[in-house]
Structure 1
Amino acid sequence: MVVEWKSSDSEDRCVERILWISPVDDLLCCIVMGDEKAFPNMRTHSEYTAAFKADLLKQVDWINDNIPLLDYDINSEHLLIRDKSWDAIKDIVTDEPDCFEKGFRGLKIREVQARTGIHKSTIYRYLRRYWQGGKMKNSLLPHFNNCGNVGNDRAAKESKRGRPRKFEDEPVGINIDEEIKQLLRSGIKLFYNNKDKSPLKHAYQKTLEKFFASGFRQEGQALIPVLPSPDELPTFGQYKYWFNKEMNLEDTITSRHGKKRFSLDYRPILGSSTYESFGPGSRFQIDATVADVYLVSEYRREWIIGRPIIYIVIDVFSRYIAGIYIGLEGPSWIGAMMALANTTTDKVNFCAQYGIDIDPEDWISSHLPQKLTADRGELEGTRPSQLIDVLGVDVENAPPYRADWKGIVEQQFRLANLRSIRFIPGAIKGRFRERGERDYRLDAKLTLREFTQIMIHNILYHNNNHHMLWYDRNEFMVADDVTPIPREIWNWGIVNRNGRLKKLPEHIVKLNLMLQGEATVTAAGIQFKGVHYGSDLAMREQWFVKARAGKTWRVKVCYDPRSTNEIYLWLDNGHRFETCTLLEREERYLNKRFEEVEDLLEIERYQGRHQDVNNMLSKIELDAQTKAIIEMAAKKTNEAIKQSEESNNQRVKGTRQRRTTERMANREHEAFQLSGQGEARKDSINNVVPLKSDETTDKKQAYIPPADNLSKIKAYLHEEDDEDE
C-alpha cells in the first residue's frame, strides 16, 4: 500500500510505498515515492501501527500515469524495452528481503553488469522504478510520454520546429507563431467550413492567396496574386497539422453539411427509442417508402404500372407491426390514414380479403395508440384534427430530414427489402443500370394484390418469429424469461404494463379515418369516381326518380380506396352511415381498387383522345364523299327539272301517287326470291315501271300505270295517310 505521513510543521508531503512486511519480526520495508534517488528503508511495524492509531499516517491512492492499465495497446517496441529491463533485475528483486539490504544488492548488481554490460546507474534506475511502481513488470515500460512538454505548444524561436526535411529541395516552411496561426484559422473558416465543401488543399491555396500575397500583377484582364518564396510560406503539411489540432469536428461538419445532416448522420447515438415507450400502444411510428419493385396491372398484365407505396405502423415498445397499407397513392395524408385505419381493423378479416387464413393470435392488434410519431408531410396542419379530437391520438411530427426520429419503422423497410422484395421479379437491382443491361422493369410479374399478399406474409413472419437478439430486455423481462420476439414482448407488455391502447367502435374509426368525398345522385345511380352505386335508402326515398325528374345533387360519402365494392353515405354527422353497393352493370369494377379503376378510366380516355385524329380524318372523308354524291345528284335533278318544264305546283302535286308507285317498284325489286333468281330478275326487268313518258307522248299527259298494277295501287291508296302538301 501507499501511505502518507501527516506533518503540520511542513507543507512537504512524505509519501511511501510499503514493499515488504516480515511475517516474524517487527520489520517492514518501504521506499519514498517521487524521489529519483530513493532506496528501500527498513522500519519497525509497530511504528506504522502507532502512527495509524495516532492519525499521523493515512492510506492514499496512487495512480501512476506511466503504467498502462491494458496490455493490448502497448507498442511492441516498448514491450521489448520492458522485457530487456526485467531480464536485468529479475534475479535481484525475486530474492526478498535480501535485495533490500545494501551489500547484497551491490553484489547482485555487479553480477548483472558482468552478464549484460548495462551501467550500474541504469540498473539502479530499473530497480527504483520497479519498487516505486508497485513491483509490477509494466512499471519498467519506457516513459516516452514524459518527453517534451505535453499539452503545451513549443514557443517559436529562430530555429525551425518540427522534424527535419528528408530532401534538401523540400520546402522547409516557417515557424507558426500566434499571428500566423490566426491567419490559418481564418482561412479554414472562410474557405473550408462552408457550404461549398471545398477540399482542404483548395482551402490552403485560397488561404495563401488571401492572407500571404504581397501584391498583384496584371496579365490582360486578370489580377494574379504575387506570393513570397516557398520558404516564407507555411507548407500544406503545417496547414493540415494545425487544422487537425484545432479542428472542432462538430462545427466543421455542421458548417459543411448543415445542422440537419449532422443530426441525422453524425450526432452521438446515446439513447434508445424503446425507453420513450412504457408499454404497448404508448407510441406508434408511421412512415412510408416507395417499394423497389415494379408491378403490372390487375386488368391487363402486359401493362406496367410502376412502383407501389408501402406504409407501416409499428409499436415502439415491442416492435410489433400494427398496420400496413400497400397502394399506388403517393406518400400523403390518404396513405397515412389508410394505414391507421388498418391498425384498428380485424386482421383475420383483412387477411381473408387477400386469400390468407390466419388465427386471431397470429395478428392480434386492432387498436389505436396513445401517441403517433409521423412525418410532417402526412400529419401536419388541420387534416389530423379528427384523429386528435375525435379519436384521442396525440400526433407528434418529426423535424424535416430527421428520419432518425422514426428509426424503428425506417428499419422495417430495409428488412422487408432484404427478406422478400429484392427477390421479386421486377425488383430494382441497382440505382443505375450498366449499358446493355436488361431493363428490370420488363421483368415485372406481380399485381398490386399479389404484392400485398407477399407483404402480409412478411409481417406475419416478423411479428411471430423474428428473434431480436439486439433488443434490450429490462430486468423484469429477463426475470420472466421473455423471448425477444415482437408478439411475446407485446403480450408481456399487455399483462405487466399499464394499458395505452385505445379500442373504439370500428365504424366510428373508419368514418373518421376513411377518405371523404362527394358523390352525385343521378338517374343512373349514385356516381362516385366514375362508378355507379345503389342503396336501399336511395330506393326507398326515390332518389333516382327525383334525379331524373328534376336535378342531380351531391351527397357526402366515405370510401376505402382499396375496394370499389362499397361506399358509405355519411348520415347524422357521422353517427350513422348507409352502405352503397356496386350496381350489377358495373361488374367490371368488382373487387378492384379505386386506383386501378382510375387508371383504367384514364387509359380509356387517353385511347379515346388518341382516336380523335383518326375520327376526324374519317369524318373529313365522309363529308367529302357525301358532298360528291350531293353535287352529282343535284346536277342530274336540275337537268331533269329543266327538261320536264313543270311548274313548282305541278311538281308538288301527285306526291302520294308517285310515292306509292316508287314503293311498289322497290318492293318488287327488294323482295327475297331464293329460287329462279335468273328468271325473276328477267321478269322484274320486264315489269319495271318507267318514270318518264315516251318521247312520242305528250309531256303534259299524266302517266297511266299498267293494268296489272292498278288493283294493287288502289288497295294501298286507302292505307296511305300522307298529305299531298
Structure 2
Amino acid sequence: MKSLYENMVLEWHVADEEDHYIERILWISPARDTVISIAVNDDKAFPIMKTYSEYTAGIESNLCKQIEWINTSVPLLDSAIEPEHLSLRDKSWDAIKDIVSDEPGCFDKRYRGSCVREAQERTGLHKSTIYRYLRRYWQGGKLKNALLPHYTNCGNYGADRTPTEVKRGRPRKFQDEPTGINIDEETKQLLRSGIRLFYNSKDKAPLKHAYQKTLEKFFATGFRQDGRALVPVLPPTDKLPTFGQYKYWFKKEMDLENTLTSRHGKKRFALDYRPILGSSTFESFGPGSRFQIDATIADVYLVSEYRREWIIGRPIIYIVIDVFSRYICGIYIGLEGPSWIGAMMALANTTTDKVQFCAQYDIDISPEEWASSHLPQKLTADRGELEGTKPSHLIDILGVDVENAPPYRADWKGIVEQQFRLTNSRSIRFIPGAIKERYRERGERDYRLDAKLTLREFTQIMIHNVLYHNNNHHMLWYDRNEFMVADEVTPVPSELWHWGVINRNGRLKKQPDHIVKLNLMVQGEATVTAAGIQFKGMHYSCDMALREQWFVKARAGKTWRVKVCYDPRSTNEIYLWLDEGRSFETCTLLEREERYLDKRIEEVEDLLEIERYQGRHQEVNNMLSKIELDAQMKAIVDSAAKKTNEAIQHSEESNHKRVKGTRQRRSNEKLLNREQEVFHLSNRGATPKNSQNNVIPLKRDEDADKPVYIPPADKLSKIKAYLLEDGDDE
C-alpha cells in the first residue's frame, strides 16, 4: 500500500454520487494512527481528524486515490509578483504565522479559537478574515504565497463592461479636456456605421475626417440656417464621443483586410497587402572602497527654463559620497523622480571629468578642486532604484558590487543621509521658493509663489555647495587613525581623499568614458524618417546616416527603428548603440530644432505635452469650424450645380460643341473680366461715372505723354452680344 505524507491530495469517490470529495492531508501523527485533513474545494472547511486506517482501507478498496493538485494561482517565485500583492501577502502571513506554526495544536478547535482571538487583538482584523487566511493557507498546501490576493478572479477579462452612470476610462490630465461618453451597444453601432461609410471607402479619408462625418450624420440634433448653408448642430462635447474613443473602437473592432480592401481595392490589396506565407557604514579601507548613493526631494520650488512664470515643482537631488573620506564624488539635479534614471545620472557623474562638467554650468575650477572621476569597488544604496535587473551592467561589465540596505535602515547609509541635512541647512533654506516649514499657517504667503530659480541655476548653486564641502568643510567629529594623525592630515574631505589615494590605493576603478556611459545611460528607440532620426519629438542626424543614405531610404521606402542611448540632461546629442555596446555613433540635433538646444529632455517633454494639450483643447472648435466650412462649400456647390444644370437643359448645344469652343470663350471671358478688374483712380477716391475718354494719358515725368490703351466700350458691347448669341463659336 502507498504510504501517506503531508500535503498529499486524495480524491474520494462514491459510486452513487457524481460529486467527488477532494481533501489535502495537513498532518500525520508520529505514531501514524491519526491524520488531519481539510476539504480543498469547500469555502467553509475546517481541519478534521480521521484515523490512518480509514485511509488505508479506502485506498485498498479503491474508494480513494492520490491525485495531482496544481494551484496555478499560487506563484512560486516572488520576482513575478507585484510589490503591492507581496505587501498584502505579508500582512496576511503576519496575522496567522503564530497560529499555523503550532502543530498539531492549531488543528484543535478550542485552542485555535483562543489563538484567533489573540490575533484579532494584535492586528485589528475580523475573526472571519483570519479564518479565511487560515483556510487558504491550509488548502493551498501550507505555502505562504497561497495568501496572495486572488485578483485574477476579479472582473471579466476580454469582455466589454456594461455601461453605468459612472464614466469609464482613465481620468483626464486636465480638467477642461473633453471626457467623452460611456459607449453602449447602440453608440458602438453608430461608430461602426461611421467607419464603414466614411473610412472604409475609396475616398481614403483620414480617420479624423471620418470621425467628423460620423458626428455630423449620426449625432447631430438638427440644423441651423447660415446664409444658404445648413450647418449641423451638435450636442455639447460632454454628450459626444471623443476622437480617442472613436479611434479606440476603430482599432478594437477593425477588420484590417476588409479596411484595406475597401480603401485600396481588391487588386491593390492583392498586390501590396496580401499575406506572404511562403518560406523565405560599512568598513572602508580607502577611497573607492565603498560609495553611498541616495536621493531626496529638495525643499525648494523652481520655475521653467522656457517661461519663468511657470512653476515646475521641486527638483530631485542625488548624491554619491565616498565613505572613507566623505568626499562627494557625483551629483545629479533633475526633475526625474527617484528612479534608475536619476541613479544612472549620478553614477555617470562620478566618472565624469569634473572640470568639463562644471564648465557646462559656467563654473571654472582646477582639477584639484574636484578630483574624483572613478567608480567604486562597492556601492551601497536603497532597496529601490538599484534593486532589480538594471544594475546588472554595473556588476557584470563595470565590476561594481551593489549592496542594498534593508528596509527602514537608513542608518546603514547614514553618511549620505546626513549630507542632505547639511545641504538643506547650508544653502537650500535661504533660496527663494524654499520650504521654510512643512505646514503653513492660515493666511501665510504661499512659498511656491516665491520661486525664482530655474533647474540650471539651482544646479549651479549645488555645484558650489559641493565644492565648498569637498575643499573647506572641516569635520571635527571625524575619527582619524594613527597614520593620519602622524601625517597631520586635516579632516577635510579633499585632504582625506588625496591622502587615501596615495597611502591606500587600489580601490578606485577606471573605465573608458564611453563604456561607462553606454552601460549607464538610458536606452530607448528612435525612428529613422526622411526628416531625420526622430526621438522624443526632436530630430537628429549623424555622419553614418548620411553616408549610408538612411534618410533617402526612409523617404523611398519605410521608416525603421534604431537603438539609442541618451543623457536626459541634454538634448543636443543622442548616441546610436552599435556592435552590442562596444561602439557608438553620435547624433546631433538638427539646426531647425534650435528651440530645443541646450535644454533638458524633461523640459522638452513638458513643453511638448503642453503644446499637445493646447492642440487637443482646440480640436473641438476646429472641428465645428470645419463642419461650418464644409456646409458653406456644399451650399455654394449645390446652388452652382443647379444653375448650370438648368442652363444645360435649356441649351441646344451638344457636349461636343460645349467643349470645342473653350479656348475662344476663355479669351472673350478674359476681355470682359478686364473691364471689371481694371484700376480707376481719382483724387476723391471715386471712379468718374461718365468718362467719355478712351485714352487716358499717365504722366510719369515732365513730358511723359504716352497713352495707355483701353478697348473701346463699343467693342466690349459687341463681345457681350456675341457671347449671348446662339450658334458656333469658331
* Counterpart for residue 517 of structure 1: 524
Match of 1:356 among 352, 355, 363: 363
Q: Distance in 2 between matches of 1:699 and 1:474?
A: 116
Match of 1:317 among 321, 324, 328: 324
Q: Distance in 1 between matches of 2:648 and 2:558?
A: 53
* Counterpart for residue 460 of structure 1: 467
* Counterpart for residue 376 of structure 1: 383
Match of 1:444 among 442, 445, 451: 451
Would you say 1:479 and 2:504 are equivalent positions?
no
Would you say 1:655 and 2:662 are equivalent positions?
yes
* Residues 130-529 of structure 1 aligned to structure 2 (within 5 Å): 194=122, 273=281, 276-529=283-536
Give, in angstroms, the shift of residue 366 of structure 1: 0.4
Q: Distance in 1 between matches of 2:623 and 2:717?
A: 42
Q: Distance in 2 between matches of 1:502 and 1:700?
A: 100
Would you say 1:667 and 2:692 are equivalent positions?
no
Query: Does the 8 A contact of 1:665 with 1:688 survive in 2?
Result: no
Give, in angstroms, the shift of residue 484 of structure 1: 1.4
Query: Does the 8 A contact of 2:542 with 2:587 survive in 1?
Result: yes
* Counterpart for residue 726 of structure 2: 701
Q: Distance in 1 between matches of 2:442 and 2:715?
A: 78
Would you say 1:678 and 2:687 are equivalent positions?
yes
Q: Distance in 1 between matches of 2:422 and 2:724?
A: 101
- Aligned residue identity for 2:569: R
Larger RCO, structures 1/2 (Cα 8 Å, 6+ apart): 2
Would you say 1:582 and 2:589 are equivalent positions?
yes
- Deviations 1:188-236 (CA, angstroms, capped at 9, x unpaired): x959984569xxxxxxxxxxxxxxxxxxxxxxxxxxxxxxxxxxxxxxx
Which shows bigger deviation, 399-408 or 560-569?
A: 399-408
Would you say 1:563 and 2:563 are equivalent positions?
no
Alignment partner of 2:288: what SS?
A: coil
Q: Distance in 2 between matches of 1:436 and 1:686?
A: 84
Q: Distance in 1 between matches of 2:718 and 2:487?
A: 112
- Aligned residue identity for 1:396: E
Q: Distance in 2 between matches of 1:332 and 1:600?
A: 22
Alignment partner of 1:276: what SS?
A: coil
* Counterpart for residue 599 of structure 1: 606
Which shows bigger deviation, 559-568 or 356-365?
A: 559-568
Rg larger for: 1
Which shows bigger deviation, 413-422 or 624-633?
A: 624-633
- Deviations 1:119-172 (CA, angstroms, capped at 9, x unpaired): xxxxxxxxxxxxxxxxxxxxxxxxxxxxxxxxxxxxxxxxxxxxxxxxxxxxxx
Query: Does the 8 A contact of 1:376 with 1:399 survive in 2?
Result: yes
Aligned-pair Cα RMSD in Å: 3.1
Which shows bigger deviation, 393-402 or 545-554?
A: 545-554
Alignment partner of 2:586: what SS?
A: strand
Q: Distance in 2 between matches of 1:191 and 1:552?
A: 62
Q: Given the superposition, is the C-alpha separation of residues 560 and 699 from structure 1 closer, same or farther in structure 2, using an over 3 Å criterion?
A: closer
Give, in angstroms, the shift of residue 690 of structure 1: 6.9
Alignment partner of 2:687: what SS?
A: helix
Give, in angstroms, the shift of residue 501 of structure 1: 0.6
Q: Distance in 2 between matches of 1:560 and 1:393?
A: 21
- Aligned residue identity for 1:678: T
Q: Distance in 2 between matches of 1:665 and 1:546?
A: 52
Give, in angstroms, the shift of residue 701 of structure 1: 3.0
Quote the sequence identity (%): 79
- Deviations 1:416-468 (CA, angstroms, capped at 9, x unpaired): 11111122122223333333332222221111111100110111111111111
Q: Distance in 1 between matches of 2:361 and 2:411?
A: 33
Q: Distance in 2 between matches of 1:194 and 1:690?
A: 109
* Counterpart for residue 5 of structure 1: none
Give, in angstroms, the shift of residue 363 of structure 1: 0.5
Alignment partner of 1:678: what SS?
A: coil
Give, in angstroms, the shift of residue 668 of structure 1: 3.9
- Aligned residue identity for 1:441: R
Q: Given the two structures, how large is their TM-score scaled by the length of structure 2?
A: 0.56
Q: Distance in 2 between matches of 1:643 and 1:621?
A: 34
Give, in angstroms, the shift of residue 580 of structure 1: 1.4
Match of 1:530 among 519, 522, 537: 537
Q: Distance in 2 between matches of 1:478 and 1:681?
A: 115
Q: Distance in 2 between matches of 1:304 and 1:286?
A: 28
Q: Distance in 2 between matches of 1:503 and 1:672?
A: 81
Q: Distance in 2 between matches of 1:510 and 1:614?
A: 47
Give, in angstroms, the shift of residue 642 of structure 1: 5.7
Q: Given the superposition, is the C-alpha separation of residues 190 and 688 from structure 1 closer, same or farther in structure 2, using an over 3 Å criterion?
A: farther
Q: Given the superposition, is the C-alpha separation of residues 544 and 438 from structure 1 closer, same or farther in structure 2, using an over 3 Å criterion?
A: same
- Deviations 1:293-325 (CA, angstroms, capped at 9, x unpaired): 111111111222221111100011111100001
Q: Distance in 1 between matches of 2:674 and 2:313?
A: 62
Q: Distance in 2 between matches of 1:539 and 1:680?
A: 67
Give, in angstroms, the shift of residue 341 of structure 1: 0.4
Give, in angstroms, the shift of residue 648 of structure 1: 5.5
Query: Does the 8 A contact of 2:680 with 2:687 survive in 1?
Result: no
Would you say 1:613 and 2:620 are equivalent positions?
yes
- Deviations 1:71-105 (CA, angstroms, capped at 9, x unpaired): xxxxxxxxxxxxxxxxxxxxxxxxxxxxxxxxxxx
Would you say 1:545 and 2:552 are equivalent positions?
yes
Q: Given the superposition, is the C-alpha separation of residues 644 and 502 from structure 1 closer, same or farther in structure 2, using an over 3 Å criterion?
A: same
Q: Given the superposition, is the C-alpha separation of residues 312 and 681 from structure 1 closer, same or farther in structure 2, using an over 3 Å criterion?
A: farther
Give, in angstroms, the shift of residue 644 of structure 1: 5.0
Q: Given the superposition, is the C-alpha separation of residues 579 and 691 from structure 1 closer, same or farther in structure 2, using an over 3 Å criterion?
A: farther
Q: Distance in 2 between matches of 1:329 and 1:619?
A: 40
Which shows bigger deviation, 356-365 or 643-652?
A: 643-652
* Counterpart for residue 160 of structure 2: none
Give, in angstroms, the shift of residue 495 of structure 1: 2.0
- Aligned residue identity for 2:670: R
Q: Which runs of 5+ in 2 are unaligned?
A: 1-113, 126-280, 695-709
Q: Distance in 1 between matches of 2:321 and 2:565?
A: 26
Q: Given the superposition, is the C-alpha separation of residues 700 and 430 from structure 1 closer, same or farther in structure 2, using an over 3 Å criterion?
A: same
Q: How many residues align?
A: 441
Q: Distance in 2 between matches of 1:325 and 1:602?
A: 24
Q: Given the superposition, is the C-alpha separation of residues 436 and 698 from structure 1 closer, same or farther in structure 2, using an over 3 Å criterion?
A: closer
Query: Does the 8 A contact of 2:682 with 2:688 survive in 1?
Result: no
Query: Does the 8 A contact of 1:644 with 1:699 survive in 2?
Result: no
Give, in angstroms, the shift of residue 623 of structure 1: 2.2
Q: Given the superposition, is the C-alpha separation of residues 523 and 681 from structure 1 closer, same or farther in structure 2, using an over 3 Å criterion?
A: farther
Q: Which runs of 5+ in 1 are unaligned?
A: 1-185, 198-272, 705-716, 718-725
Q: Given the superposition, is the C-alpha separation of residues 699 and 465 from structure 1 closer, same or farther in structure 2, using an over 3 Å criterion?
A: closer
Q: Given the superposition, is the C-alpha separation of residues 609 and 192 from structure 1 closer, same or farther in structure 2, using an over 3 Å criterion?
A: closer
Q: Given the superposition, is the C-alpha separation of residues 402 and 671 from structure 1 closer, same or farther in structure 2, using an over 3 Å criterion?
A: farther
Q: Given the superposition, is the C-alpha separation of residues 681 and 428 from structure 1 closer, same or farther in structure 2, using an over 3 Å criterion?
A: farther
Give, in angstroms, the shift of residue 528 of structure 1: 1.6
Q: Given the superposition, is the C-alpha separation of residues 400 and 478 from structure 1 closer, same or farther in structure 2, using an over 3 Å criterion?
A: same
Give, in angstroms, the shift of residue 687 of structure 1: 6.5
Q: Given the superposition, is the C-alpha separation of residues 313 and 681 from structure 1 closer, same or farther in structure 2, using an over 3 Å criterion?
A: farther
- Aligned residue identity for 2:573: E
Q: Distance in 1 between matches of 2:718 and 2:118?
A: 107
* Counterpart for residue 123 of structure 1: none
Q: Distance in 1 between matches of 2:723 and 2:449?
A: 83
- Aligned residue identity for 2:598: N
* Counterpart for residue 108 of structure 1: none
